[in-house]
Structure 1
Amino acid sequence: MSASPSVGQPVSRLEGYQKVTGSARYAGEYNVPGLLYGYVINSTITKGKIIRFDVEKAKALPGVIAIFTHENRPSLAWFAQQYSDMDAPQGSPFRPLHNADILYNGQPIALVVADNFEMARYAATLVKVEYARENFDTGLKENLLKARPPKTGLANFLKPLPPHPKGDFEKAYSDSFARASGEFEHGTEHHNPLELFTTTTIYEGDGKLTIYDKTQGTINSQLYVGNIFGLHYKDIRVIAPYVGGAFGSGLRPQYQLFLSVMAALELKRSVRVTLDRTQMFTFGHRPPTVQHTRFGAGQNGKITALNHLAVAETSRFEDYTEVVVNWSNMLYPAQNTLMEYKLVDVDVFSPLDMRAPGGLTGMHAIECTIDQLACKLNIDPLEFRLINYAETDDSADRPYSSKELKECFRQGAEKFGWSGRHMRPRSMRRGNKLVGYGMAAGIWEAFQIPARAVAIITPEGKLEVSSAVTDIGTGTLTVMTQIAADELGLPVEAVTFSYGDSKMPFAPIQGGSFTVSSVGSAVKASVKALREKLFKAALKMDNSIFKGYKIGDVDFEGGRILLKSDHSLSLSFSEIIIANKGKAIRAGKFSIPDFLTLRKYSRAAHSAVFVEVEVDEDLGMINVTRAVTAVAAGKIINPKTARSQILGGMIWGISKALREETISDHHLGKYMNRNLAEYHIPVHADIHDLDVIFVEENDTIINELGTKGVGEIGIVGMPPAIANAIFNATGKRVNQLPVHLESLL
C-alpha cells in the first residue's frame, strides 16, 4: 500500500478544470457532421384522444425533413419494456407516440426533424392538433378517499413496503401521558438540473448507434434502446462522461432518448433531440403527499406509540412508490406501531425518484411530530431524542452494522451552540426579527448493488481502471481514482479511471447513495485481483527475487513491488510487464454484496441537523441564518467532495422548506410555473453560514470499503429542522411545505 494514501484526503475534482473552462462536453455539445435536430410537440390537453394532425404548413418549410406522430412512426419491438429500465416501478411504462390516447398534460405527441434547431422549433408551432377531450382528475387532496395500497411485485425492490403493525397502537396512544399529532402536506417538485435533457444519436450504419445521452446509467439507456427497438446490445454504445446534474431525473430513460433513436434509425441520419426548460416539467417529479402522524409517550419521555400514514399520487399506468413511513421506528423504539402507505391514481405522468425519495418527505412529518411531543413534555428536543435513542433497529429487530448518531448529536450541538436555545417560543430576538433554533435527526438506508470493474497495468506501467458508471457531479471520477490508487500504492496522478460508457464493465444506475459502495467495491476488488496477478507474474520471472515469498510479504508502492522486510529488494511494474513479453496485465471483478451477512443487520447513514432562523415579525419573511449538519456515513473517501454533497443537500433542504414547489391548476390539469423564473429556488443571497461535520464511524460489516454514501443524508433532516426552528421563533407550527409567508402573519 502507498505510504501516503489518498483515501480520506480532500482531493480536488480531477475533472474540475474541464468543467470550469467549458472544455467538458455534455450530451448536446458533440459536433457531428450532417446532424439533424428534433423538436418535440407536447399535448396541450390533459386527457383524451388525438383526432387528427395538420402538418402541411410545417412540412412545407425549407429544411424540415420529417414529422413523426403515432400515425407514421416506425414499427418497434417494444420488447419487455418494464424490465429494460432498472428504475421502472410496477405497472406498464409510458410509450411515446404509441397511439392516439392522451394520458397527461404535456405528453409528447410528435417530433419535428429539421436540418437546424431553430427551423425544427418554428415548424413545431405550425403543427395543428385536433383533440377529443375527456374528463380528467389531477388532484391528490380531492381524491384521498380513493387511496389504495400499492400493488406488489419485483419492481422497485429497494423500496420495501411498510413494516407490519406491532402491539395495539390505538390503546397505547389513548393511554399515553403525552400525545402529538399532525397533518403534513408536501407539494409537487420538479428536478430541474442545469443541463437540459438531450440525446445525440449518431447513426453509424447497419443499425449501429453511438448515443450521447443525459443519463444516470449508460447501461440502463443501452438496455432500453436495445429492447425497445429490437437491436443487439453490442450495436449500441451509450456515452455520458459529463452529466450536468440529475438528482434522480436521469435514472429512467426519458422520452428524448426514444425520439432521437427512433428518428435516427428511420432516417438513417444522426439526430439530436433537446428538451427545453418547459418540457423538463413533462416527465417525472417528486409526488405531492399528504401525511398524518400520531405519536404518544409516557411521563418519563419514553415513546410508547407511533402511527404514520402517507398518501401519495401516482399515474394511472404505474405504481410509483416511496419509502415514507418506515423511518420512525428505525430511529425511535416503540412497542406499538402502525405504519400505512397508500396511493391515489391521477392523470399525471408517473412520479420519479428525487433526491432522498420518500425519506425527505417522511422525515419532515416524523421529526416535527417528535419536536411537538418533546415540547408537550417540556423536554429539550435534543434530550428527548437521547431518551429515545435506538441502539438497534426496533422496526426489524436487528442491530445496526454501525451507528454513531449519538456522536452526531453531541458534536453538532456543541458546534452549533444548542445549549443557548430558549425553550419558550418567541423568547429570542434580534431587533424586529424573531430568532428560533430547531433540530432534527436524519436517516438514509445504505445499499450496495452488484457492479463490475476492470483494472489494467499498461506496458508503460500505468494503472487504468474502467467502469460504465456515470458521474452526475458528485465526484465519482475522483473518488474511484483514489480507491484504485491506494489499492496499488500509487499516487492519484498515476491512475486513469475511465467511465460513463456502456461498452465498459457493468455498473448500476447512479442513485440512492450507493455508487461508492457498489462501484467503489468493484474497483477495489479488481485492483486487488490485479495485485495478485502482478505478484504471480513477478514470481514467474527468471531468478525472481520474490521466490519463496507470498503476497502478504510484499508492499505495493510507487509503481513497484517491495519486500516488506527489505525495501531494497523490489521490482517495478514496468519490469514485470517486460518479462510478460510486453503484454498488459488485466483483472476484472464483479463485486457482489455478502447478502447472507448483511441481512442480519440494518445499514444506514445518520445525521443531526441544527438550524437557526430569523423571522421578520411584521412581514413573516424567513431567513436561515446558519446551520450545522453532523453526519455519520462510514468511511469518507474524499471529505472535500463529500462535504460538497452535504452542503448541496442542506441548500436543497432550505429550498424544499421555504421556496420550491410546482403549482398545479387542477381545473386545467397542468403545471403553471414551468420555468425557472416562477419555480423558486434559493439564490446566493438566501444561503448563509452552513457547516458540515463528519463523525468518525468504522463499519467493518457493510462492505470492504466501510462506506455508506452521502448523497441523500445531507437533505433529509433540513426541512424539519427549519420547521422546528420556525416554531421556536414564532410559536406557530406550519406543516405545509414550502412554508408560505402568509402562514406566519
Structure 2
Amino acid sequence: MNTSVIGRSLRRVDGPRKVTGSARYAADFNQPDQAYAVIVGATAGLGRVTGIDISPVEEMPGVVAVLTHHNAERLPYLPHKAGIDPAVGERLHVLQDDTVRFYGQPVAVVVADTLDDAERAAAALRISYEAKPPIVDPTGPDTQRIVPEAAARPGARTLADRSRGDADAAVANAPVKVDARYGMARENHNPMEPHATIAAWDGDRLTLWSKSQYLVNEQAEIAAIFGLPTENVRVICPFIGGAFGTSLRTWPHVTLAALAARHVGRPVKLVLTRKQMFFTTGHRPHTLQRIAIGATMDGQLTGLVHQGAGETSRYEQFMEALTSVTDFMYSCSNLRTEYRLIPLDTGTPNHMRGPGEASGVFALECAMDELSYELGIDPIELRRRNEPELDEAENRPFSSRSLMPCYDLAAERFGWSRRSPEPRSMRDGRLLIGMGAASASYPAFHAPASARVRLLADGTVEVEAAASDMGPGTYTSMTQVAAEFLGVPPERVRFRLGQTDYPPTPSHGGSWTMASVGSAIRAACIAVQEEAARLAIADQHSPVFGASAGDVEWNEGRLHRRGDASRGQPYGDIAASAGRPIEAEGSAQRDPEVASRYSMHSFGAVFAEVAVDPDVGTIRVRRIVGAYGIGRVVNPLLARSQCTGGMIGGMGMALMERTALDPRDGRPVNAHMADYLMPVNLDIPEMEAHFVEEDDPHVNPLGVKGLGEIALVGTAPAIANAIFHATGKRVRNLPIRIEDVLSV
C-alpha cells in the first residue's frame, strides 16, 4: 500500500472545473423545451387563503399555468422520515389546502415560457387571506415551552432531561457561583448557490437536477410524496455552491418543481430567490439558555445546570443537541440539563453548521469564562482543573480526547502568555484589546455507507458513491483514500459523486462524510483487490497463476507472490486479461460493540483577539487561532480550509448574523444581503488552524473524525469572551452589536 497519499496537502482535483466554469450546478442543467416556475409566498403570517384570482394572470404573455390549492394535483404524501427529518410532526403538504402556517409559505406557483414572464405574472397574482396575528418571538408572553417528544425517548441523541447527583443544591451551596442567561438570534443559511431544481418527467419516471446534500433521501422523499417506486426517481447533483445544512432536507420547492413539470408536461426549472431562502428552507433556531455553575474556591466544579430552549414550527418538532456537550465537557458530579422547544408560527428550523453544539457551547463556554473571573483563575487553568478522565454522562472512556493538548498548542501559537488578565488592561493606542478562549467539541459520527470501485484496462480507477460535495473537498479527499488503499497515484483515480445511481451514502452533513464514505471506499478497494486477485490467480498467463489467495499480496498497485516483488501484475493488465473492467462494491458501518464501549468526539480550543473602539463601539476581530484533535488528517490543506470557513461562520454568529421578524406578520424584514450581515473579505482577520497528533483506532477504519462543524463551534464564545476582556462588559446575547458595547 502506498502510504504517502493520505496526509498530503493535495490540491483540489475539481479545482480546474470550478475556476473554468465547467463545473455544473443544479440550475445549469437546462433541458429542451424547459419552462420556468416562480413561487408565490403567503403575505399573511397565519390564517388561510380566501381567494385567488388566476384568470388575469393566465392571460399574461408567456404564462403556461398557475397552480394553487384549487387545481394542484392531490399528492399521496406517503410516510417517510430520514434521520435528518424531525421525528415528530408532518412535513408541509404544499398546495394541498388553504391553510397558511407561516409567512412566505408557498400558496401558488406560476409557470411560464421564460423567467421574466413567470416573475411578472407572479408579481401580478392577487391573493386574499383571512389572517391572524402569528406568534414569532420566543421571548414573548404568549409562548410556551414543551418537552420534545423524541427527546423523551430512550437512546435519543439529545435528551429532554438528564441529571446526575443534585445539581441545583450543589450550585446553591457553592462558595462561588455563576448564574446567567444567554440568547442567540435566529440565523439563516446564505450560501452562494441558491436552492434550485430542474424537474423532467418521462412517463412515470422523474429526473431531478437538484441542489441536495442528501441525494438518496431526496430520491426517497419525492418518491413518497408522489407515490412512486423509489427507483423511478433519479437525483443528480455533482456540485454544490455552499450549503451549511440548508440542503439536507427536501424542501417544498423540489415538490413544486416536479408538480409543475407534470402539470404542464414539460421540464420545469425553479430557482429560489435570496429572499425566498429566508422562508421555506430552514434556519438556525433562536435559542434561550440558562447556565448555573457552582465551584470551590480552587476552581473545582461542584454543580452545573444547563437549561436550554429552541424555537420550532407548530407542525414539526425540530430538535438539536443544544445541551449535549455540557453532559461530558467537564468533570462535575452534580449536573442537570434540560431541553425544551418553543412552538412558533414559523417554518421548521433546520440543521445549520454545528447544529445545537454551536449554540449550547456558546452559553457553556461564556459561563466558564465568567467563573474564571469570579475565581481569579486563568480560563485555561480552570478548564484544566476540571478535565474529566472519562465521559461522566455515559460512564465510559473517550476513544480519544485531546482538549488540553489543543489548548497547549493553540495557546502557544496565539501568545496567550502575553495576555494581561484584568479586563480593560490591554490597549493599542486608544483601542481596547481583548483576548478570549473557548473549548469546542462535536461528535465523531459514522453512518452506514457504500461505494463502488472499478479497475480499467488503461490502468485508471473509477470510484463512485452517491455523496455530495458542498465545498470541503470531497472529490479530492476521496480520491486520496482510494489512491492510498489501491497503492496508485491520485492522478489515476476518477472519483464520481452526486447521482442516486451510485451506491447509497448518508447525508453530506454532520461531519461524517469522510468517516462514512471514506471507510466505504476503503472497503470497496479491498473488495476489488480480492476480485482482481481471484481473476489473476485463475489466469494462466498471470505471474501469480495457480497461487493461493494467501500467497499473493499487493504492492504499489501490482499483484505479486508474497515475498517476491520482481514479477508483479498491475491492475490494468489484470483487467485487460479479463476482457472487462473489474468491479466491486464495499460498505462500512461502525461496529456497535465498539460504539457501546467508547464515547467518541472531536475536541478543540479556539483563541480570539479583538479590538474595540471605546468611542464608537466598533468591534474588530484581529486574530483567531484554533487547534483541533480530529484523529487522522487526510488532507491538511483542505482541513485548514474547513477551519477557516468555520471560524468565519463563528465570527458571523458572534457579531453579525440575525434574522429579524416583524411581530405583526412574521415577515423576515432583513431577508437580503444589505441588512442580513455576514463577514466579508475586509472583515476576515489573520487565522491559524493547527492539528494535534491523535491516533484513534476506534472511531472508524481510517481513524478520522469530522472537522466541518467543530471549527465553528468554539469561535463565537471565544470572541464574546475576548470582548469582555477588552471592555469589562459581559454581553450574553448574540450577535454582539455596537450598541451593546457603546456604554463601555
Normalised to the residue count of structure 1, the TM-score between the two structures is 0.97
Displacement of 1:551 in angstroms is 5.5
Alignment partners' CA distance in 1, 2:437 and 2:151: 37
Alignment partners' CA distance in 1, 2:273 and 2:171: 51
Displacement of 1:585 in angstroms is 1.4
1:624-639 counterparts in 2 under 5 A?
A: 624-639=621-636
User: Is 1:183 the equivalent of 2:166?
Assistant: no
Contact 2:539-2:545 at 8 Å conserved across structures: no
Displacement of 1:557 in angstroms is 4.3
Other-structure match for 2:606: 609
Alignment partners' CA distance in 1, 2:294 and 2:240: 46
Contact 1:163-1:326 at 8 Å conserved across structures: no
Contact 2:650-2:712 at 8 Å conserved across structures: yes
Displacement of 1:135 in angstroms is 3.2
Displacement of 1:160 in angstroms is 2.5
Secondary structure, in 3 states, of the residue corresponding to 1:40? strand
Cα shift readout 1:435-491 (whole Å, capped 9, x = no counterpart): 111000100011101011111112333211111111111111111111011111011
Contact 1:163-1:395 at 8 Å conserved across structures: no
Structure 1 pair 551–368 and aligned structure 2 pair: CA distance change class (3 A): farther
| Worse overlay, 308-317 or 140-149 | 140-149
Contact 1:139-1:346 at 8 Å conserved across structures: yes
User: Is 1:661 the equivalent of 2:652?
Assistant: no
Alignment partners' CA distance in 1, 2:456 and 2:232: 27
User: Is 1:92 the equivalent of 2:90?
Assistant: yes
User: Is 1:107 the equivalent of 2:86?
Assistant: no
1:551-566 counterparts in 2 under 5 A?
A: 554-563=552-561, 565-566=563-564
Displacement of 1:558 in angstroms is 4.6
Alignment partners' CA distance in 1, 2:417 and 2:549: 54
1:148-547 counterparts in 2 under 5 A?
A: 148-152=146-150, 159-162=157-160, 164-203=162-201, 205-283=202-280, 284-542=282-540, 544-546=542-544
Displacement of 1:268 in angstroms is 1.8
Displacement of 1:577 in angstroms is 2.1
The one of 669, 680, 683 equivalent to 1:686 is 683
Displacement of 1:115 in angstroms is 0.4
1:73-84 counterparts in 2 under 5 A?
A: 73-80=72-79, 82-83=80-81
Displacement of 1:590 in angstroms is 1.9
Contact 1:90-1:156 at 8 Å conserved across structures: no
Contact 1:6-1:482 at 8 Å conserved across structures: yes
Contact 2:467-2:507 at 8 Å conserved across structures: yes
Displacement of 1:5 in angstroms is 2.2
Structure 1 pair 404–594 and aligned structure 2 pair: CA distance change class (3 A): same
Displacement of 1:662 in angstroms is 0.6
Displacement of 1:153 in angstroms is 7.4
Displacement of 1:139 in angstroms is 1.3
User: Is 1:618 the equivalent of 2:615?
Assistant: yes
Secondary structure, in 3 states, of the residue corresponding to 1:7? coil
Structure 1 pair 629–550 and aligned structure 2 pair: CA distance change class (3 A): farther
Alignment partners' CA distance in 2, 1:615 and 1:523: 49
Displacement of 1:583 in angstroms is 1.9
Structure 1 pair 221–606 and aligned structure 2 pair: CA distance change class (3 A): same
Other-structure match for 1:696: 693
Secondary structure, in 3 states, of the residue corresponding to 2:567? strand
Cα shift readout 1:541-567 (whole Å, capped 9, x = no counterpart): 216533676666655345422445332
Gaps of 5+ in 1: none
Cα shift readout 1:554-598 (whole Å, capped 9, x = no counterpart): 553454224453321211223322332x02211112212101211
| Worse overlay, 181-190 or 88-97 | 88-97
Alignment partners' CA distance in 2, 1:242 and 1:145: 41
Other-structure match for 2:721: 724
Alignment partners' CA distance in 1, 2:143 and 2:671: 29
Contact 2:158-2:322 at 8 Å conserved across structures: no
Alignment partners' CA distance in 2, 1:74 and 1:145: 36
Displacement of 1:75 in angstroms is 2.4
Secondary structure, in 3 states, of the residue corresponding to 2:26? coil
Cα shift readout 1:366-407 (whole Å, capped 9, x = no counterpart): 001001111111100011111111231111111011111111
Secondary structure, in 3 states, of the residue corresponding to 1:403? coil
Other-structure match for 2:135: 137
Contact 2:457-2:573 at 8 Å conserved across structures: no
Secondary structure, in 3 states, of the residue corresponding to 2:584? strand
Alignment partners' CA distance in 2, 1:153 and 1:288: 19
Alignment partners' CA distance in 1, 2:302 and 2:222: 52
Secondary structure, in 3 states, of the residue corresponding to 1:263? helix
User: Is 1:17 the equivalent of 2:12?
Assistant: no
In the alignment of these two chains, the number of paired residues is 741
Alignment partners' CA distance in 2, 1:698 and 1:143: 51
Contact 2:158-2:323 at 8 Å conserved across structures: no
Contact 2:74-2:96 at 8 Å conserved across structures: no
Contact 2:472-2:638 at 8 Å conserved across structures: yes
Normalised to the residue count of structure 2, the TM-score between the two structures is 0.97
| Worse overlay, 141-150 or 30-39 | 141-150
Alignment partners' CA distance in 2, 1:489 and 1:184: 52
Alignment partners' CA distance in 2, 1:493 and 1:641: 18
Displacement of 1:523 in angstroms is 0.5
Contact 1:144-1:344 at 8 Å conserved across structures: no
Contact 2:320-2:355 at 8 Å conserved across structures: yes
Structure 1 pair 102–741 and aligned structure 2 pair: CA distance change class (3 A): same
Gaps of 5+ in 2: none
Alignment partners' CA distance in 1, 2:341 and 2:177: 27
Structure 1 pair 153–207 and aligned structure 2 pair: CA distance change class (3 A): farther
Structure 1 pair 55–8 and aligned structure 2 pair: CA distance change class (3 A): same
| Worse overlay, 154-163 or 486-495 | 154-163
Aligned partner of 2:246: which letter? S
Cα shift readout 1:88-119 (whole Å, capped 9, x = no counterpart): 44211111112000000000000000000000
- When the two chains are superposed, the root-mean-square deviation of aligned CA atoms in Å is 1.7
Alignment partners' CA distance in 2, 1:156 and 1:192: 35
Alignment partners' CA distance in 2, 1:637 and 1:345: 42
Alignment partners' CA distance in 1, 2:609 and 2:45: 43
Structure 1 pair 332–58 and aligned structure 2 pair: CA distance change class (3 A): same
Aligned partner of 1:176: which letter? A
Contact 1:610-1:627 at 8 Å conserved across structures: yes
Other-structure match for 2:590: 593
Secondary structure, in 3 states, of the residue corresponding to 1:486? helix
Contact 1:159-1:321 at 8 Å conserved across structures: no
